[in-house]
Amino acid sequence: MSTEKLWQGRIQSSCAEILNEFNSSLSFDINLFQEDIDASIIHAEMLAKQEIITIPEFETIKQALLEIKKEISSDIKQWLNDHCHEEDIHMAIEKELTNKIGDIGKKIHTARSRNDQVITDLKLWLKKEINIVIELLKELEKTLVEKAAQDIDIFLPGYTHLQQAQAISLGHFWLAYKEKFSRDISRLEDSYKRTNINPLGSGALAGSSFAIDREYTTQKLGFAAMTQNSLDAVSDRDYVCEYEFCISMIMLHLSSLSEEMIVWNSQEFNFLEISDDFATGSSMMPQKKNPDIPELIRGKTGRVVGVLNALLITLKALPLAYNKDLQEDKEMLFMASDTTKKCIKIAIEFLKNIKANKEKMLASLESSFCGATDLADYLVKKGLAFRDAYKIVGTLVNQCITSQKKFNDLSLNEFQACSDFFSEDIFEILKIENSVDSRNIIGGTSRLQIQSQINKEK
């Protein structure tokens, strides 16, 4: 097979082998082969419609491209090996097309540049990828809602600064992460709008002198609109940055959840039990049961966030229009997106295979001062100003610490020694389930509110 480049002419000599290796993107932009072939068929169809090529030429091109698509799909590794000397997937497919059908194949690139070709392919790929990630997040949301329904009657301390703060339902905790992933879905849906704009026809940077029909390719390729400035279109990578930001946020949320699971799995907390199928052991210490899945998710988050940072730095000073630096967007993007999908999938299975230690969570609450805010609110409802109530309860906490007691250990007389506003009903206020259910406002941790949120998801 000839190693001559399709762009040779101005440059007469063969490229140095080290340049070929350094310049090639085929090893990773092979991911775009389906989009490249689909877009090429539509481009050729439009050329035939506009009588730039003949209908028989289009049919010949289409049939050959479909054959190439089948060949790559059947054995992608072998196809890569056979075309390893090519510069990128676009040149490899065009070269193979020409090998199959001769001079007719050379017409495929009429009114098109690799600059608008590659971003068309990338946008088509990214549209699919966004929808895949959205569906995975919806499955993760469903898992969290199911866990919320299952764990609605389990109570544990809520934390600020990793200090025990107030009693919450475990169901409320799961729904908190559901909210985060809902926002991630919303961001992806919004980014899809700006991805769903057709750049084909922008050429290298100035459009095309051929009478092409951009509206036709826009409709046929499933785009909602077309780009309005060819200079901007071929240099724009905003949509890639947006997607990278979206998946970085997903990974940050997964990492935060993973950190909670790691801490809760520790013997010091012992709030949950990981299924044996989703934990690992130590090669040296027989007693160990390690939370490798959340630790790996936490670790891989840096990889995905790093890609966003690298891409932004790559773009920060590029002049219009296309620069070879932009080749760097794809390898990072493919890796980050694949990592994110894998992490969402394993997170779903991990969550399905953990069990809350209800007794330990409750014991932790009972040994805490998480009812302090309830006591202050109680005094306010009796007529005290909040700051006065706050000071009384703070003093009461200090006395309990000194005497090594908890609120439930105190007698009514001890409460009333701090304030005459305390009465017998204070012991109802201190019941954990009453504390949780008292926060019965939209967004609160009461079981009625949690159930209402769960019902909305059904």
- Provide the pLDDT for residue 452: 97
Pair 110, 147: CB distance under 8 Å = no
Q: Where are the beta strands (DSSP E) in 170-298?
A: 197-198, 225-226, 272-274
Question: CA 40, CA 94: separation in Å to the nearest integer?
Answer: 9
Give 255's Cβ-side CA count (13 Å radius): 16
* CATH code, residues 115-210+226-358: 1.20.200.10
Burial class (CB in 10 A: 0-12, 13-18, 19+), 21: exposed
Q: What percent of the chain has pLDDT over 70?
A: 96
Q: What percent of the chain has pLDDT over 90?
A: 90
- Provide the pLDDT for residue 4: 57
> What residue has token string 């993007």?
333
- Provide the pLDDT for residue 283: 85
pLDDT digits (tens, 9 = 90+) for 348-357: 999 999 999 9
Mean pLDDT of the chain, nearest integer? 94
Question: CA 413, CA 431: separation in Å to the nearest integer?
Answer: 19
Query: Which architecture does CATH list for 17-110?
Result: Orthogonal Bundle (1.10)
pLDDT digits (tens, 9 = 90+) for 189-206: 999 999 999 999 999 999
Cα-trace Rg, the chain: 31
**CATH 1.10.40.30: which residues of the chain?**
363-457
- Please, which residues bridge with residue 272 across strands? 356
Question: CA 57, CA 180: separation in Å to the nearest integer?
Answer: 52
Q: Which of 79-93, 127-141, 158-172, 294-308 has the lowest mean pLDDT?
A: 79-93
- Provide the pLDDT for residue 75: 96
Instruction: Supply the residues annotated as catalytic.
Output: 161, 282
Q: Where are the beta strands (DSSP E) in 147-262?
A: 155-160, 163-169, 197-198, 225-226
Pair 418, 396: CB distance under 8 Å = yes
- Provide the pLDDT for residue 1: 47
Query: Per-residue pLDDT for 266 more than 70?
Result: yes
Q: What is the mean pLDDT of residues 273-277?
A: 91
Higher pLDDT, 23 or 309: 309
Q: What is the mean pLDDT of residues 363-391?
A: 96
Question: What is the assigned CATH class of domain 363-457?
Answer: mainly alpha
Would you place residue 287 in the very low, low, confident or very high pLDDT band (cuts 50, 70, 90)?
confident
CA-angle at 309, arms to 307 and 313, nearest 5°: 115
pLDDT digits (tens, 9 = 90+) for 71-106: 999 999 999 999 988 899 999 999 999 999 999 999
Higher pLDDT, 366 or 21: 366
Q: What is the mean pLDDT of residues 242-259?
A: 98
- Provide the pLDDT for residue 15: 60
Would you place residue 19 in the very low, low, confident or very high pLDDT band (cuts 50, 70, 90)?
low
Token output for 82 = 């056979």
Q: Which residues contact 142 (CB under 8 A, 6 or more apart)?
A: 457
DSSP 422-450: --TTHHHHTSHHHHHHT--STTS--HHHH
Amino acid making up residue 231 = L
Pair 167, 174: CB distance under 8 Å = no
Backbone angles phi, psi at 376, to 5 degrees: -65, -45
Helix, strand, coil shares of the chain as percentages rounded to 5?
65, 5, 25
Query: Per-residue pLDDT for 184 more than 80?
Result: yes
**CATH 1.20.200.10: which residues of the chain?**
115-210+226-358
pLDDT digits (tens, 9 = 90+) for 422-446: 999 999 999 999 999 999 999 999 9
Give 153's Cβ-side CA count (13 Å radius): 1
**CATH 1.10.275.10: which residues of the chain?**
17-110
Q: What is the mean pLDDT of residues 325-329?
A: 92
Would you place residue 7 in the very low, low, confident or very high pLDDT band (cuts 50, 70, 90)?
very low
Question: CA 29, CA 368: separation in Å to the nearest integer?
Answer: 56
Q: What is the mean pLDDT of residues 156-168?
A: 97
